[in-house]
Structure 1
Amino acid sequence: MNFHIYHPADALRPFVKQYYYWEDNTRGTIQIPQNLFALGDQYLILMLEGKGEVKPATHKAFTLTGNAILGHLTCACQFQVEGPVKVAVVQLNPYGCFRLLGLQADSFTNYYRNLDTLNSGLWTETANALREMKDMKEVETILDKACITTMESQCCSMRTADDMADYMLIRQGNVSLQELSERYQLSKPTLERIFTAVIGLPPLLYARMIRYKTALRALRQLNLPEWQLPVAATAYYNQAMFIEDYLQFNHQTPSYFTPSTATIAQMPAEHQQVAVAS
């Protein structure tokens, strides 16, 4: 197995977080950890070889065979691939898809949009370049070029939604719709419409995801049964609220928070993390 993490050019930050390149010669079905994809982010996936299947807990499964955008995931998902497999992934921040591709939430069906249906052949050309590259160092250059090219071709800008998403992250999700409405001088319906169009999620659901991920980062360091969790140290008022979110995003009841059950997806121990809830 060959797995690499690359960093985007400065011009692409903060819209693009990281690049991943994964190559595995294993034949047959390869089960990927449930939480490969972080809540609140979107992913541009180029399936260079093999195919992948996404099985959301609350939606119909779908297959990734070419170039696609995936996310924002709002429930537990299983992801498996049929090897041998080669795949390049661009991890985007919450509003990265809108900034790079100009795609709004209504263009997605169940977390998914096939990029090959767009008029531009940019991503097909990018996938072909990745298949033909001779040196792994070319991954970063090829993906930088593609992302910068598509971003420069967009004229869309909605800084209010960008700023709201960043503000909610700074506040660790501890924010109400009323507070956002007053801060940005927008009515609640207008605020929800703008935020959902750009981010792809209603603002309160996005805040809920941030609170959940923040709590996990704190609780993951403790080796305690879930009934002993000090929820006062998190953004949750009580344990029931946390369990409700855990069921929503993991589709199972929490038991123990040890490294083996944390919601950070990892490749085998000798390899780097695939994606983190950040």
Structure 2
Amino acid sequence: MNFHICHPADALRPFVKQYYFWEDDTRGIIQLPQNLFALGDQYMVFILEGKAEIKPTNHKAFTLPSNAVLGHLTCACQLQVQGPVKVAVVQLNAYGCYRLLGLEAAGFTNYYRNLAMTDQPGWQELSAALKQVTDPGEIESLLDEACIKALATRDCTLREVDDMVDYMLIMQGNVSVEELSARYGLSRPTLERIFSAIVGIPPQLYARMIRYKTALSALRQLNLPEWQSPVATTAYYNQAMFIQDYLQFNHQAPSYFGAATIAHLPVAGLHQVAVAS
């Protein structure tokens, strides 16, 4: 198995967080960890070989198209692929999908949007080019070129939603819709409408995701294996609130904090993190 994580070009920040490329010669079904994709982010997924199926806990499984935008995942999901598999992924921040592709949440079905159904042929061309790659080092430049071109050709106003998202991240999710409404001079219905259209989920849910991710990261730093670790240093008032969110986003009891998402892995240029022959 080969897994690489790469930096995007500086011109793409903050919309594009990182790229990763996965290649595995294993034949048959490969089960993937449910936290492979991070809460609060969206992903452009180019399946160059193999098939991928996603089974959310709250509805039927679906097969991901070869070229798709995925997210935001709002519940625990089981991910599996039919190998051999070759996949390139662009990890976007909360409003990156809207800025690069101009796609609003209304166009998504079951957490994804098929790029073949959009009027943007550039992504199909990118997929075709990625299929010809033999050296993983070429992946980064191809993705950079396609994303920079998309950023330059799309003039999508973010309507202050980018500032709202950044503020919520600074506040670690400790912010109410009423506070956002007062801060940005928008009525609550208007704020919720434009936030949901651009980010893809309501501001309340996004804040909850940030709060949960921040708390989980803080508890992992304690190096304690049990979920009974104190939550007083986090944004949660008590353990019951934390457990409720843990069940929502992981669909299991919070027995340990050992699993990291791709979003938490270090990035230093082209970084090969796993190799198996």
* TM bracket, shorter-chain basis: over 0.9
1:21-32 mapped onto 2 (5 Å cutoff): 21-32=21-32
Report how many residues are paired.
267
What are the superposed Cα offsets for residues 73-118 of structure 1, whole Å, 9 maximum, x if unpaired?
1000111111111000000000000000000111111211000111
User: What is the root-mean-square deviation of aligned Cα atoms in Å?
Assistant: 1.8
Native 8 Å contact 1:17 1:91 kept in 2: yes
1:170-185 mapped onto 2 (5 Å cutoff): 170-185=170-185
The residue number in structure 2 matching 1:226 is 227
* 2:152 maps to 1:115: no
Code of the residue aligned with 2:255 in structure 1: it is S
Comparing 151-160 and 192-201, the one that deviates more? 151-160
Native 8 Å contact 2:99 2:156 kept in 1: yes
Using the aligned pairs only, state the percent identity: 68
The residue number in structure 2 matching 1:43 is 43
Q: Distance in 2 between matches of 1:272 and 1:217?
A: 21
Q: Distance in 1 between matches of 2:118 and 2:164?
A: 29
Q: Distance in 1 between matches of 2:13 and 2:203?
A: 22
* 2:265 maps to 1:264: no
Native 8 Å contact 1:54 1:80 kept in 2: yes
What are the superposed Cα offsets for residues 123-154 of structure 1, whole Å, 9 maximum, x if unpaired?
12111111112432211111111111222221
1:197-236 mapped onto 2 (5 Å cutoff): 197-222=197-222, 223-227=224-228, 229-236=229-236
1:62-101 mapped onto 2 (5 Å cutoff): 62-101=62-101
Over 4 Å off, 4+ runs: none
Q: Distance in 2 between matches of 1:219 and 1:65?
A: 36
Native 8 Å contact 1:44 1:89 kept in 2: yes
Native 8 Å contact 1:216 1:263 kept in 2: no
What are the superposed Cα offsets for residues 223-275 of structure 1, whole Å, 9 maximum, x if unpaired?
15323x21111100111111110111001122233x2xx353699xxx639xx
Unaligned stretches of 5+ in structure 1? 274-278
Higher relative contact order (CA 8 A, sep 6+): 2
* 2:241 maps to 1:241: yes
Native 8 Å contact 2:100 2:151 kept in 1: yes
Q: Deviation of residue 24 (structure 1)? A: 0.6
Native 8 Å contact 2:95 2:199 kept in 1: yes
Native 8 Å contact 1:48 1:127 kept in 2: yes
1:130-209 mapped onto 2 (5 Å cutoff): 130-209=130-209
Native 8 Å contact 2:225 2:255 kept in 1: no
Code of the residue aligned with 2:139 in structure 1: it is V
Native 8 Å contact 2:19 2:90 kept in 1: yes
Q: TM-score, normalised to structure 2's length?
A: 0.92
